[in-house]
């Protein structure tokens, strides 16, 4: 684990920002997040092509605003941006490791979770940042090493709460923080909080958009 302290800022839905040593890394600034969540990031990671995780306009705006900003993502997303920003959009896949704006990143996973057997599965990668924070995208990928903070896709068309609970148990993080929560209503939140907290076996919490925490 990197010795420098990390600060995590929860954005809307699956978007988060990590800050360390004056530099920022943003993951999944998609269509459900704020318009300018990627602007000002030194590095941007995108887990897959679904519009709640990937918004081409938001990424183009971030790269145009800062000529030094770069993106790391899988091929299906990279192909939509690489020609316009040569040398700044990097294709990665399962097993890759790289450094982005001073953050050490490992790539885990290959496929999106099954939505329905009749819907073809697309590619999806998860990112383990500084050996501490894991963002799985839209999959229940279990990294092959311990995870301190799991960013937990808490509610999605492809999951049910028993799978979410079992995922926390299998990863075994020190704490799990909810992401992928834009569709989770205020009425349902206490149910999810109570059941995941009681049965997951890890400290479980959720953050409001804009809320920050040290890691």
Render the burial of 130-153: b for 16+ CB within 10 Å, e for the rest. bbbbbbbbbbbbbbeeebbbbbbb
Q: What is the pLDDT of residue 157?
A: 93
The Cα–Cα gap between 25 and 69 comes to: 10
* Mean pLDDT, the chain, integer: 96
> For the chain, which domains are there?
7-206 (3.60.15.10)
DSSP letter string, 125-194 = -EEEETTTEEE--SS----SS--SEEEEE---TT--HHHHHHHHHHH--SEEEEES-TT--TTTHHHHHH
Name the pTM for this structure.
Answer: 0.95
How much is the average pLDDT of 135-155?
97
pLDDT digits (tens, 9 = 90+) for 25-56: 999 999 999 889 999 999 999 999 999 999 99
- C-alpha pair distances (Å), 144 with each of 109, 129, 147, 167: 10, 14, 9, 14
pLDDT value, residue 202:
97
DSSP helix/strand/coil, 8: strand
pLDDT of 128 reads 98
Residue 3 — very low, low, confident or very high, per pLDDT cuts 50/70/90?
low
The helix (run of H) or strand (run of E) holding residue 9 is strand 7-10
């Amino acid at each position: 684990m990197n010795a420098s302290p990390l600060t995590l800022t929860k954005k809307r839905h699956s978007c988060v920002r990590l800050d360390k040593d004056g530099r920022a890394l943003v993951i999944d600034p998609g269509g459900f997040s704020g318009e300018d969540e990627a602007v000002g990031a030194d590095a941007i990671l995108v887990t897959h092509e679904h519009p709640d995780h990937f918004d081409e306009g938001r990424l183009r705006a971030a790269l145009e605003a800062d000529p030094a900003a770069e993106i790391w993502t899988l091929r299906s997303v990279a192909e939509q941006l690489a020609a316009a920003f040569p040398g700044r959009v990097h294709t990665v896949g399962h097993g890759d490791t790289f450094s982005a704006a001073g953050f050490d990143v490992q790539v885990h996973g290959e496929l999106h979770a099954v939505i329905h057997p009749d819907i073809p599965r697309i590619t999806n990668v998860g990112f383990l940042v500084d050996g501490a924070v894991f963002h799985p995208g839209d999959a229940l990928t279990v990294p092959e090493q311990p995870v301190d903070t799991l960013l937990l896709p808490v509610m999605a068309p492809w999951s049910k709460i028993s799978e979410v609970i079992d995922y926390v148990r299998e990863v075994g993080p020190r704490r799990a923080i909810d992401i992928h929560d834009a569709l989770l209503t205020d009425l349902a939140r206490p149910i999810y909080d109570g059941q995941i907290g009681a049965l997951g076996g890890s400290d479980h919490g959720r953050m409001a958009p804009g809320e920050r925490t040290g890691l």
